[in-house]
Structure 1
Amino acid sequence: MKNSVLCFMAIPLLFIACGQGSGNQQRSVATTIAKPDLITPEFNADSAYYFIEKQVSFGPRVPNTPEHIACAEYLAETLERFGAEVIVQEAEVRAFDNTRLNIRNIIGQFQPEKSERLLLFAHWDTRPFADHDPDPAMRNTPILGANDGGSGVGVLLEIARHLQENPTHPGIDIIFFDAEDYGIPDHFHVPYKPDTWCLGSQYWGQNPHVRNYYARFGILLDMVGAKDAQFYREQHSLRFAPRLVDHIWNIAHELGYGAWFNFGIGGLITDDHVYVYKHLNIPSVNIIQHDPTSPTSFGSYWHTHADNMDIIDKATLKAVGQTVMEVIYREK
């Protein structure tokens, strides 16, 4: 990976010549000027909560539904209002059952003229099946996805709100990936198929919005809003970007958010960061809830109808949002 250590911009050697004929020897002085530190803005958890609530108000955001289209328009308009150059990448992909899904990856570019870039991403769609709901009669109905989908997007919208008036040194790209949560349901008895999850990021990885796109690193936020959530170090992330993982977790502890960021080893999660790394070789870290006491490792509300605004906690949003903001504002 490319280290997230402070980088410096060198300027050409300044040659200072003494007076001609003075007999003094010419001297060359190498001067290096560091970019100034930036003050990290204050992440507003109330604002992030509102952005989650707004998404949930549309209902389940499942591809091929009116609610999905309405929310996509809201997300694109909001990023544009916050000063981003917005690209809505529309595509047709195939689900595990061969359903044709009309998807939209929503891309907000901040300072697009800069070649040095950071990538922040989350998925904005919601699960079309409540396959872990305790009520079997409810398992074929879509979930609201306040945490699983809504929370990562809500945190990134709050970060986006600051980027126009408080630009970072590198340019920032925020991507809301679609069709992440359309993988094979656990209650369906169908043959296993690889790569049925993360359809939006798979498409973008093979068709990036900018030719030869690259970012210094990527950070994925998935399920980052539940009360008392714990974020362990996810195993793919440790393989793709071990130094970045420790950099993020160390910053979280420095800021006082150690109660949320646990240095233990978490799961091996197939998520959007896997395909960002696979297709574009961008070292990426997944900040994702891990609950070692739960059979699913994601909490009792995961992929159930209990994934609603009742489980969203502003303290968790603050811990994640302020940590990610500190990471990107420290980059030179």
Structure 2
Amino acid sequence: MYIKKLQILLLSIFSLSIFVSTAQEINIDNLKKHIYYLSSDKMKGRATGSQELKKSANYIEKEFKKYKLSPKGTKGYRQSFTAKVSRVVVPDSLRRAENIIGFLDNSAPYTVVIGAHYDHLGLGDFGGSKDPDNIGKIHNGADDNASGVAGLLELARHYSNNGVKEQFNILFIAFSAEELGLLGSKHWTENPTLPLSEIHWMLNMDMIGRYNPANGLAVIGYGTSPQFPAIFEGIQSDIKFNLSKDGNGGSDQTSFYKKNIPVLFFHTGGHEDYHKTGDDAEKIDYTALKSILQLEVEVIDKSMQQQKMDFTWTN
């Protein structure tokens, strides 16, 4: 009887270890599912204020609920605001937008913020398109930024199911209206749903799907905290990554940097399909995307071994 109980106990421990190990693996199939859905023609380019962006918001919220993240918006998972199109004159220049916000509550005093914007250019008819011959056609935005949202959702899955109660909370934010001038992240940092003083640091993913081995992955913001050198010490990856000090840049981490919060911005760089109709899901390098997220997990985990991170201006 004793031996049988011991066997059952060992089998249970083994099964749990297999579950935790599987949960810790970044899943390429999940990444493909998210990117192919968000950048399909049916989503019509996810323009701010569109019905298709609302469908994207619903998709993200459903995933947050599946991972049992707590709602951390102003109304459930949502934080609504008005976004204005200012690059060109359009009849509907004022558009309703929503940040989607989920919280992994580890009962910790401080929180890591992980963010990515989920809007794109729609049909390219409200400014920003680099494809003048195809204005009025769908700009799918697979790399920009379905890739970042896929990363956001996969990190949410990982940290919700890894069997570990970390020493920090994690706030996951899908920002809207980034393409209109970082409006979603600006709104959140001006109207935060948790105190800015409680933020450990912020990680932003924008265009992480088109890795070019010749250039490597850009990790921007390395100079925004004196703790980042210790965090990156000894970190290795099967992809090349380059550390850049500046905290400013053309994406949502800038809004946090301007509030004296340490930031890192992960970015695989521009390409011939940037803000054009050819930015499609089949062009994403999913193997490299998995490696980027594995690198991010290591960085996040090592950051949780630090005390609350100090901030440094880089310019």
Q: Aligned ranges for residues 16-31 of structure 1 at < 5 Å?
A: none
Give the structure 2 partner of residue 85 of structure 1: 70
Give the structure 2 partner of residue 270 of structure 1: 250
Give the structure 1 partner of residue 24 of structure 2: 41
Give the structure 1 partner of residue 96 of structure 2: 102
1:169 shift after superposition: 2.5
CA distance in 2, matches of 1:265, 1:284: 10
1:69 maps onto 2:54 in alignment: yes
1:124 shift after superposition: 0.6
1:287 maps onto 2:281 in alignment: no
Give the structure 2 partner of residue 32 of structure 1: none
CA distance in 2, matches of 1:219, 1:249: 18
1:113 shift after superposition: 3.4
CA distance in 1, matches of 2:257, 2:247: 17
Q: Aligned ranges for residues 307-326 of structure 1 at < 5 Å?
A: 307-326=279-298
CA distance in 2, matches of 1:107, 1:66: 19
1:164 shift after superposition: 2.3
The residue type paired with residue 217 of structure 2 is: F
Q: Which runs of 5+ in 1 are unaligned?
A: 1-37, 183-196, 291-297
* Root-mean-square deviation over aligned CA pairs: 2.6
Partner secondary structure for residue 114 of structure 1: coil
CA distance in 1, matches of 2:97, 2:80: 6
Cα deviation per residue 1:105-164 (whole Å; 9 max; x = unaligned)? 01110016322211111111012426212xx33135451111011001101111111222
CA distance in 2, matches of 1:266, 1:228: 21
Q: Check conservation: 2:247, 2:253, Cα contact below 8 A.
A: no
How many corresponding residue pairs?
A: 265
The residue type paired with residue 28 of structure 2 is: A
Partner secondary structure for residue 210 of structure 2: coil
1:123 maps onto 2:103 in alignment: no
Change (3 A) 1:89 1:265: closer
Q: Which runs of 5+ in 2 are unaligned?
A: 1-19, 72-76, 306-315
Partner secondary structure for residue 225 of structure 1: coil
Q: Check conservation: 2:223, 2:247, Cα contact below 8 A.
A: no
Partner secondary structure for residue 217 of structure 1: strand
Change (3 A) 1:118 1:265: closer
TM-score by length of 1: 0.72
Q: Check conservation: 2:44, 2:138, Cα contact below 8 A.
A: no
1:263 shift after superposition: 4.4
2:217 to 231, 236, 251: 231
Of the structure 1 ranges 115-124 and 137-146, higher mean CA displacement relative to structure 2 is found in 137-146
CA distance in 2, matches of 1:309, 1:275: 28
Q: Check conservation: 1:227, 1:311, Cα contact below 8 A.
A: no
1:170 shift after superposition: 1.0
Partner secondary structure for residue 150 of structure 1: helix
1:313 shift after superposition: 1.2
1:300 maps onto 2:272 in alignment: yes
CA distance in 2, matches of 1:211, 1:266: 24
Q: Check conservation: 2:224, 2:246, Cα contact below 8 A.
A: no
Higher helix share: 2
1:173 maps onto 2:187 in alignment: no
Cα deviation per residue 1:13-63 (whole Å; 9 max; x = unaligned)? xxxxxxxxxxxxxxxxxxxxxxxxx98922112221211112123331111
Greater C-alpha radius of gyration:
1
Give the structure 2 partner of residue 189 of structure 1: none
Give the structure 2 partner of residue 217 of structure 1: 201
1:156 to 141, 152, 157: 152
CA distance in 2, matches of 1:75, 1:147: 17
Change (3 A) 1:250 1:301: farther
Change (3 A) 1:105 1:302: same
Change (3 A) 1:152 1:102: same
Q: Check conservation: 1:152, 1:223, Cα contact below 8 A.
A: yes
CA distance in 2, matches of 1:265, 1:116: 24
Could you tell me the percent identity over the aligned residues?
25
1:171 shift after superposition: 0.8
TM-score by length of 2: 0.76
Partner secondary structure for residue 147 of structure 1: helix
The residue type paired with residue 200 of structure 2 is: R
